[in-house]
Structure 1
C-alpha cells in the first residue's frame, strides 16, 4: 500500500475511522451511509490525502452496497433476494468494520467488490 510522506496525525486518523463508521448511521438516518462519508469527503478532501482516501473509499463502497441492496430487494419478487439481501448486509457490516480497523492502524485500505465513482 502507498504510504504518505508526512506522518498521519491523530485527527486525520480519527476522521478516517469515522468516515467508515458513519455507514452505520443508515440505521437511523435514511442514506446516512452515503451522506456521512460524503460530508467528510467534501470538507477534508483538500486538507488531507489520508482522510480523502478513506472518505472516498467509504463513500464508493456505500454507494455500491446501496445499489447491491436495492437489486437484492427487487429480487425478493423472484425469491432470490431473500438469500442475497442478508448476504449483502453481512458483507457491508463486516467490510465496514474491517476498513475502520485498518484505518485505525494507519493502513490505506481499499474495499473489494467496489466500483469507483469518486476518486
Structure 2
C-alpha cells in the first residue's frame, strides 16, 4: 500500500492524528486542528480522508464516553456533599465562634460507604480513557506515517 501513497499523504495523515493531542495545549484542539486539516485535504487524497474520519470519530467517541462517565458519577458526588458539612469532614458546628475557628478533622465522622465505589470506578475509567487516547494516537500517527490504514478501537462512526 505504501507504493501508491505519496510521502505528503502519509505525513499529512500522521499530522492529523498527532494534532488530536493538541487538546492539552489548545481548548478543543483535538477537534479543531484535525477538522481543518481533514476538510482542506479530504477531496484530494482518499488516504487523508480515511484518516481524518478515523481521528475525528475517535475523539468524538472519547468525549461521549467521558460525558457518560461524568453523568454516572454526579449523583454519587452530590450524595457525598451533604455528609461533608453535616457532622462529616467539615462539621459546621465546629465553626460556631467568630475568632476561634476550630480546625479538627475526626476520621470517624467520615462515612465512606458503598456509594464511593462508583466514583472510584468512573475515575479509573477516565484515567483508562486518557491512556487509551495517548497510546492509540501515537500508534495511529506511526502507522499512518508508514502508509498503513489504522482503525481505532472503541470508536463509534459518527462521520462516514
Same-fold status (TM-score > 0.5): yes
2:140 & 2:69 partners in 1: Cα distance? 23
Larger Rg: 2
Residue 20 of structure 1 and its aligned partner are, at CA, apart by 0.4
Compute the displacement of 1:35 (Å).
Answer: 1.1
CA deviation after TM superposition for structure 1 residue 110, in Å = 1.1
TM-score normalised according to structure 2 size: 0.67
Contact kept, 8 Å, 1:24 with 1:33, in 2: the verdict is yes
Q: Find the partner of 1:48 among 45, 48, 51.
A: 45
1:59-109 per-position Cα deviation (integer Å, ceiling 9, x unaligned): 110111111122223334331321111011111111111111110111011
- C-alpha distance in 2 between matches for 1:72 and 1:40: 30
Give 1:30 shift. 1.3
Count of aligned pairs between the two proteins: 116
In the alignment, structure 1 residue 109 sits paired with structure 2 residue 150: yes
The one of 1, 4, 7 equivalent to 1:7 is: 4
Aligned counterpart in structure 1 of residue 136 of structure 2, from 69, 92, 95 = 95
CA distance in 2, matches of 1:71, 1:15: 32
Supply the RMSD in Å over aligned alpha carbons.
1.6
Match of 2:124 among 76, 79, 83: 83
Structure 1 spans left out of the alignment, 5+ residues: none
Q: 1:17 is paired with a residue of what secondary structure?
A: helix
